[in-house]
Structure 1
Amino acid sequence: MGNSLACFSPKIAARSSDSTSPAHRDASPPRPSSSASSTARRAASALPGSTSNKKNKKKMETAASASASAAEAGELCRDALIREQAIAAVMLLKQYQSGGGNENGDSLRLFSRSTSTSALFPSVSGKSGVKQSVPRSSTSRRRSCSDVPLPPLPQVLADEALEADGVETNRFVLVHGGGYGAWCWYKTIALLRQGGFKVDAVDLMGSGIRLTDTNNVNSMAEYVKPLTDIIDKLGDGEKVILVGHDFGGACVSYLMELYPHKIAKAVFLAAAMLKNGQSFLDMFSLQEGPSDLMRQAQIFLYGNGKDQPPTAIELDKARLEDLLFNQSPAKDVALASVSMRPIPFAPILEKLTLSDANYGSIRRFYIETHEDYAIPASLQEAMIKSNPPEKVFHLKGCDHSPFFTKPQALHRFLTEISKIS
């Protein structure tokens, strides 16, 4: 029976050998089968002192170390993101508390070049020393697969150093859309300024931090007065690139007619690009049907009484995210929800006079947003077809607020447009 047991697993034989008689231990053990030898080798490799076990232990330690490094880097990224959001919020709050802009409160005070982008777009390094870009948004909202992760901002700016050199003009004037304010351009301002451009972004009448009652703005000329003040102060031969978003496109067209010799180029960003005799309201006639979402979001205000025509339009805050910010980061949606103002109604109804000699003499460019629910891509394309610009750029996976959703892609397009000769 003892010889029969010895033919089984070597583990059993090793344990049972302690209980056998001395005479039996002296006897030559039977030769194990090849399968038993293989089992024995595997069992031996698992012993603490074996070479194989040392290798496995080393692999496990290496994997554990890599996992810990990844966890630490992830924690650094999360910490940097929280720090980014906190700094941006504090900077915005200080601007509002200070009254913003110049002594007349005409415009939102812009971030200094030394702090703006480093605070808003930080990058962190893991133990390996490789910089990792911090996520732009804490939102879990669906993102387009076309939104390829970009390199850290310092690297981008290093690659585009002195990008404003050699251009016709290095000065941009950013014109916000209806209900927005200069605050919406904060990322674009930071990026352009880091590239060496001069940037102005103003609050139009009744917008942003301007205390003017929107219901009392009765014409386009009155609405764009802060913008004409900037153009009027330009020196002889000095030109600007106007960028208009949404209703700001109509404002840009109005300025193009008034100041053809002071505007080098005009950029329409998901904006109304009107023809002679059209109003902003007329633009929507190019659509097959009104947007249900837009109609549901509109709230008419009657500053002169309900028996009189509406004086302004407010957008329902509960529908803002779906209408204007369906792809935007959560922190920017929060900023917009407390900053949006009503839109004066009279300028929306005003039909513009646009001549070939003035408006038509300025180079126009259009930047189209493909996931836009306020001015849908189909309506943008209808305007482009009706009134063709020099060149069209496309922001795929972008909502109606590209300065929030695709700030770096927008910056690249604006830089490219500035360099077109």
Structure 2
Amino acid sequence: MGNLCTCLSYQDIPNKRQNPKGLYNRSSSAPATGSNRWSRMKSSSKKETFKFDDPVLHQQALAAAAIILQQQRNGGSSLPFDRSTSLRYPLSNGTSKNSGNKNGAVTLPRSSSTRARSLTDPLLQPHQLLNQDGELDGVESNYFVLVHGGGFGAWCWYKTIALLEESGYKVTAIDLTGSGIHSSDTNGITSLSQYVKPLTDFLEKLADAEKVILVGHDFGGACISYAMELFPSKVSKAVFIAATMLTNGQSALDIFSHQEEDKDLMKQAQVFVYANGNNNPPTAIDLDKSMLKELLFNQSPTKDVALASVSMRPIPFAPVLEKLCLLDKNYGSVRRFYIETTEDNAIPIASQEQMTKAAPPEQVFRLKGADHSPFFSKPQALHRLFVEISKVPQVCESFLGNANLK
């Protein structure tokens, strides 16, 4: 609304540009340019100074803003006021970046982002992405619970939370013990149950009839597996994103230790923390900040890498060592889906494929061009997969039995 309030009269709106000093050049003789931005009006006449504390001008500005908003709501032709460069719009077919289209309409600017466009990450607004097939009434659960990976926190899901809520879903992002803004010291975490307590406490408080779609990223895969074993009746579906999807009796360390030594950036980036002294086992694993981008964010925007570099915390060591007890009647009764990330340097695609072969989920999806953090590098494509998974219908047990035999 701040930009709209600079409009002082209806006729002048297409030819005005906001002046941060409150000065405006008025001229009726200056021709409009063909720019795709607001036309700059040059004038040889003297400048007039307008103050927004003038009640008449203030009322005119409010009236102009109201008309613009009403035209947009009614689907009418919108006025070419300057839009934020952080918004992204595709160019019309047959037009160049700096020209209008065949009808002389102004072409909106492309994003200033340097990240390449991809078919798997379309540049669309949330309301254009989803809910095109109708309401969400048919889904078994419209409630997503997001669990971060080792070193991350609930903060890493900020794009996903916004997209899901915009599409009508309920969302909760969990800060595991010693992660994100959780106050506990990472070095004091001695078991997986202690580490995932915020998640298990959340599921325990859910109403008996309520189910959630549980999402785990990275080491969060082991964390949601632990929760699925305890609360299988409260989990509608489980989604593993570039995550440790374990089998019974396996630990996360077992997964990481099988990765190729000469190509494993994770091992190179690890810095062990010995809070109890060098003669005792490590208490946590930190990551070399100079290797974060290459390891976790090699396809992610720079601003998200900056956010992570000041937000990530050490990973508790004891939970990584812990072997899980995963039974068919509990963990095995929850429908599992896996999302692979093809440009992942932390858990390479080969390691992800080994996990899906060892314990085949119901479906495997692949995010092309995604690094280890697709909520940063491919947020919209990831969002589309979340919605698709939420709408996968329940399959009868007899059909699943036949499918598993093939």
TM value normalised by structure 2: 0.71
Q: Which of 125, 131, 134 is matched with 1:152 structurally?
A: 125
User: Does the CA contact (< 8 Å) of 1:228 and 1:255 recur in 2?
Assistant: yes
Q: Which residue of 2 aligns with 1:231?
A: 203
> Could you say what secondary structure the match of 1:371 adopts?
coil
Matches within 5 A, 1:333-372: 333-372=305-344
Q: Which residue of 1 aligns with 2:293?
A: 321
> Could you say what secondary structure the match of 1:80 adopts?
coil
Q: Which of 230, 241, 245 is matched with 1:258 structurally?
A: 230
Q: Which of 274, 279, 284 is matched with 2:256 structurally?
A: 284
Cα gap change, 1:338 to 1:416, in 2 (>3 Å): same
1:44-98: CA deviation from partner (whole Å, max 9, x where unpaired): xxxxxxxxxxxxxxxxxx9x954x2279799956x432xxxxxxxxxxxxxxxxx
Is 1:406 the counterpart of 2:378 in the alignment? Answer: yes
Rounded to whole Å, the distance in 2 between the matches of 1:299 and 1:243 is 27
Rounded to whole Å, the distance in 1 between the matches of 2:210 and 2:121 is 37
Structure 1 residue 296, shift from structure 2 partner = 1.8
> Could you say what secondary structure the match of 1:191 adopts?
helix
Cα gap change, 1:145 to 1:413, in 2 (>3 Å): closer
User: Does the CA contact (< 8 Å) of 1:160 and 1:195 recur in 2?
Assistant: no
User: Does the CA contact (< 8 Å) of 1:217 and 1:344 recur in 2?
Assistant: yes
Rounded to whole Å, the distance in 2 between the matches of 1:188 and 1:133 is 25
Matches within 5 A, 1:380-395: 380-395=352-367
Rounded to whole Å, the distance in 2 between the matches of 1:74 and 1:390 is 48
Rounded to whole Å, the distance in 2 between the matches of 1:383 and 1:290 is 20
Q: Which residue of 1 aligns with 2:349?
A: 377
> Could you say what secondary structure the match of 2:123 adopts?
coil
Structure 1 residue 254, shift from structure 2 partner = 0.4
Matches within 5 A, 1:8-407: 65-66=33-34, 68-69=35-36, 76=82, 79-81=84-86, 132=108, 135=111, 138=113, 140=114, 143=116, 146-147=119-120, 149-157=122-130, 159=132, 162=135, 164-289=136-261, 291-407=263-379
User: Does the CA contact (< 8 Å) of 2:88 and 2:123 recur in 1?
Assistant: no
Structure 1 residue 406, shift from structure 2 partner = 0.7
User: Does the CA contact (< 8 Å) of 1:214 and 1:312 recur in 2?
Assistant: yes
Q: Superposition RMSD on alpha carbons, in Å?
A: 2.9
User: Does the CA contact (< 8 Å) of 2:120 and 2:381 recur in 1?
Assistant: no
User: Does the CA contact (< 8 Å) of 1:157 and 1:194 recur in 2?
Assistant: no
Rounded to whole Å, the distance in 2 between the matches of 1:300 and 1:166 is 48
Q: Which residue identity is paired with 2:36?
A: S
Q: Which residue identity is paired with 1:215?
A: N
Cα gap change, 1:234 to 1:132, in 2 (>3 Å): farther
User: Does the CA contact (< 8 Å) of 2:126 and 2:167 recur in 1?
Assistant: no
User: Does the CA contact (< 8 Å) of 1:123 and 1:152 recur in 2?
Assistant: no
The gaps in structure 1 that reach 5 residues or longer are 1-61, 82-120
Rounded to whole Å, the distance in 1 between the matches of 2:288 and 2:371 is 18
Rounded to whole Å, the distance in 2 between the matches of 1:381 and 1:216 is 34
User: Does the CA contact (< 8 Å) of 2:338 and 2:365 recur in 1?
Assistant: yes
Rounded to whole Å, the distance in 2 between the matches of 1:229 and 1:130 is 54
User: Does the CA contact (< 8 Å) of 2:130 and 2:387 recur in 1?
Assistant: no
Rounded to whole Å, the distance in 2 between the matches of 1:282 and 1:156 is 38
User: Does the CA contact (< 8 Å) of 1:329 and 1:405 recur in 2?
Assistant: yes
The gaps in structure 2 that reach 5 residues or longer are 1-30, 40-78, 92-98, 394-406
For the pair shown, the structure with the greater C-alpha radius of gyration is 1
Rounded to whole Å, the distance in 2 between the matches of 1:204 and 1:196 is 25
User: Does the CA contact (< 8 Å) of 1:239 and 1:261 recur in 2?
Assistant: yes
Rounded to whole Å, the distance in 2 between the matches of 1:221 and 1:301 is 21
Rounded to whole Å, the distance in 1 between the matches of 2:190 and 2:247 is 22
4+ residue stretches of structure 1 with deviation over 6 A?
70-75, 122-131
User: Does the CA contact (< 8 Å) of 2:215 and 2:224 recur in 1?
Assistant: yes
Cα gap change, 1:271 to 1:75, in 2 (>3 Å): farther
Q: Percent identity, aligned pairs only?
A: 61
TM value normalised by structure 1: 0.69
> Could you say what secondary structure the match of 1:69 adopts?
coil
Structure 1 residue 184, shift from structure 2 partner = 0.3
Q: Which residue identity is paired with 1:214?
A: T
Aligned length: 314
Rounded to whole Å, the distance in 1 between the matches of 2:329 and 2:131 is 41
> Could you say what secondary structure the match of 2:275 adopts?
coil
> Could you say what secondary structure the match of 2:261 adopts?
coil
Cα gap change, 1:148 to 1:256, in 2 (>3 Å): closer
